[in-house]
Amino acid sequence: MSELPHRVRGVDHVAYPTFDPAGTVRFYRDVLGFPVVHSICAAGWGPERHPDFIHFFFDIGNGDRLAFFYYFGLEPFGGGPQGDAYSRFAEDVPVYFIRSRHLAIHVDSEEDLLEYRRRLDGSEWPVEMQIQHETIESIYTHDPNGYMIEITRALRPVTPQEDLDAALTIDALVDVVSGPDPSMAALLTRKAELIVERAAAWEEQHAARATAEQASVPEVARP
Amino acid sequence: MTTFYVLDVPENVSVATVAGQGPDVTVARVGPYFEISAPGAIVVDRRATGCRHAVWYSCVAGLRGARVTQQDKDALRVEPV
């Protein structure tokens, strides 16, 4: 487990190229209501051959931003019939792989999730799926550039034991992918060893921490 | 002995409960995990758990002396290695 101080503060911006800036602005600003918060008009990029471009940013909440590059005169690149403005894939590439890279934007409540569903369903880019996963509920669509966008809410707060479980999963994963034949069976077998080694001690420490925190709360503040 | 582990979170509780109703199945705890064991195979009926898709296919946290031989829309079956 890392003991390094954790100083980062979320997403400053994530950036994608677009060949359809008008559609991109309609989708993010006019349909979803994400404000345009910054843009750069760049005449080339110094001495190298580089097209003039517009770099523009939408506020996706929490001070985080989704940015695009539009390059004047640039035509889409080839590569196959599937994919998006950035990546094109051959016909035989499975859709689960293509969809694995996506942007998920957080909302706080079911009401907010359904509000964005209403906005999308009234547009050219209606919701394609609404799914309850293990502990989150999400809606999905593709933006005018073909990028998959997810909007998601938590069905409940994450519990402390899920952090332990994640740590054990990742330690087991790192172990099994270093071995000769990575598989789910190998991972779950290794993870069971880690559960036996570490889970009981974790629970004792967690209980002790919770007791200490409770003791530090003034009597009047307790429910 | 066939043993598998399930993390104790609200979505998974029914998996341990239904598993524990099987013959010779014992459900113990190791930290925040249910430890579900039996001398032979352990079978959990999917519909009896009421688990939705994503919960059902990610409910197994660990396997000891065991392998999953079925995990589909009908059942989870864990057998001795």
Domain match, A142 and A183 both: no
Q: Does domain B2-80 have CATH number 3.90.56.10?
A: yes
Q: Across residues B58-75, what is the average pLDDT?
A: 97
Q: Under an 8 A CB cutoff, do B31 and A201 touch?
A: yes
Tell whether B77 lies on the interface with A, counting CB pairs under 8 A: no
| ipTM attached to this prediction | 0.96
For residue A133, which residues of chain B lie inside 8 Å, CB to CB?
Answer: 54
A6 is a domain residue:
no
> Could you tell me if residue A145 is inside a domain?
yes
Same domain, A75 and A89: yes
Q: Rounded CA gap, A119 and A27, in Å?
A: 10
Structure tokens belonging to residue A15: 């950036």
Q: What is the domain count for chain A?
A: 2
Examine the domain organization and report whether A172 and A138 are in the same domain: no
Rg (CA), chain B: 11
Same domain (yes/no): A146, A169: no
Last residue within a domain, chosen from A135, A154, A173:
A154
- pLDDT tens for each residue of A49-82: 899 999 999 999 999 999 999 999 999 998 999 9
Nearest CA in chain A to B53: A133
Residues A35 and A137 in one domain: yes
Alpha-carbon gap, residue B52 to B48, rounded angstroms: 11
**A116, A200: one domain:** no
Q: pLDDT tens digit string along A126-146?
A: 999 999 999 999 999 999 999
Q: Is residue A220 part of a domain?
A: no
Boundary residue ending a domain (A154, A173, A190): A154
User: In this model, does residue A210 exceed pLDDT 90?
Assistant: no
Examine the domain organization and report whether A203 and A129 are in the same domain. no
Query: Quick one: tokens of A175?
Result: 């172990």
Does residue A150 sit in the same domain as residue A107? yes
- Asked if A191 and A172 touch (Cβ cutoff 8 Å), the reply is yes
- A35 and A108 both lie in a single domain: yes
Long-range contacts of the stretch A84-91 (C-beta < 8 A, 24+)? A84/A142, A84/A145, A84/A146, A84/A147, A84/A148, A85/A16, A85/A17, A85/A18, A85/A19, A85/A20, A85/A145, A85/A146, A85/A147, A86/A16, A86/A17, A86/A145, A86/A147
Tell me whether strands A53-59 and A136-142 are parallel, antiparallel or unpaired: unpaired
A64 part of a folded domain: yes
Q: A130 and A197: one domain?
A: no
Q: With a cut of 80, say whether residue A21 has pLDDT above it.
A: yes
- Local confidence band at A216 (pLDDT 50, 70, 90 cut-offs): confident
pLDDT of residue A213: 85
- Domain of residue A194, residue span: 160-215
Domain-terminating residue out of A120, A154, A188 = A154
- Kindly report the average pLDDT of chain A as a whole number: 94
Residues of B in contact with A185 (CB under 8 A): 63, 67-68
Query: What's the pLDDT band for A46 if we cut at 50, 70, 90?
Result: confident
What is the tens place of the pLDDT at every residue in A176-195?
A: 999 999 999 999 999 999 99
Q: Do B63 and A188 touch (CB under 8 A)?
A: yes
Residue in chain A lying closest to B68 (CA): A185
Q: Judge whether B55 is closer than 8 Å to chain A, CB to CB.
A: yes
pLDDT at B60: 98
* A205 touches B: beta carbon within 8 Å: no
Q: For A164, which of B11, B32, B64 is closest by C-beta distance?
A: B32
The single residue listed with the structure tokens 């998601």 is A152
Domain assignment present for A75? yes
Q: Does B52 touch chain A (CB under 8 A)?
A: yes
Mean pLDDT along residues A3-17? 96
For residues A137 and A185, state if they share a domain. Answer: no
**Within-domain flag for A23:** yes
Nearest in space to A39 (alpha carbons), one of A31, A125, A24, A143: A24
CB distance A165–B7 less than 8 Å? Answer: yes
H-assigned helices in chain A: 21-25, 95-99, 110-121, 160-177, 184-216
Q: Which residue from B3, B33, B67 is facing A199, i.e. has the nearest CB?
A: B33
Distances (CA, A) of A59 to A11, A80, A115, A207: 11, 32, 17, 40
The reply to whether residue A132 touches residue B9, judged by beta carbons under 8 angstroms, is no
Contact A68, A39 (CB under 8 A): no
Residue A100 in contact with partner chain B when CB distance is under 8 A? no
Specify the CATH number for the domain of residue A90. 3.10.180.10
Are the beta carbons of B29 and B13 closer than 8 angstroms?
no
Average confidence (pLDDT) over B24-37? 97
A10 alpha carbon, distance to own chain's centre: 11
> Domain check: are A94 and A112 in the same one?
yes
Q: What is the rounded CA–CA span in Å between residue A125 and residue A113? A: 16
A150, A102 in Cβ contact below 8 A?
Answer: yes
User: How close A79 gets to chain B, by Cα (Å)?
Assistant: 33
In this complex, the residue of A164, A168, A185 whose CB is nearest that of residue B63 is: A185
User: Is B23 in the A-facing interface, judged by CB distances under 8 Å?
Assistant: no
Instruction: Check residue A3 and give its pLDDT.
Output: 85
Residues B30/A161, Cβ–Cβ less than 8 Å: no
| Neighbouring-strand partners of residue B64 | B3
Is the CB of A49 inside 8 Å of chain B's CB atoms?
A: no
**A4 in any annotated domain:** no
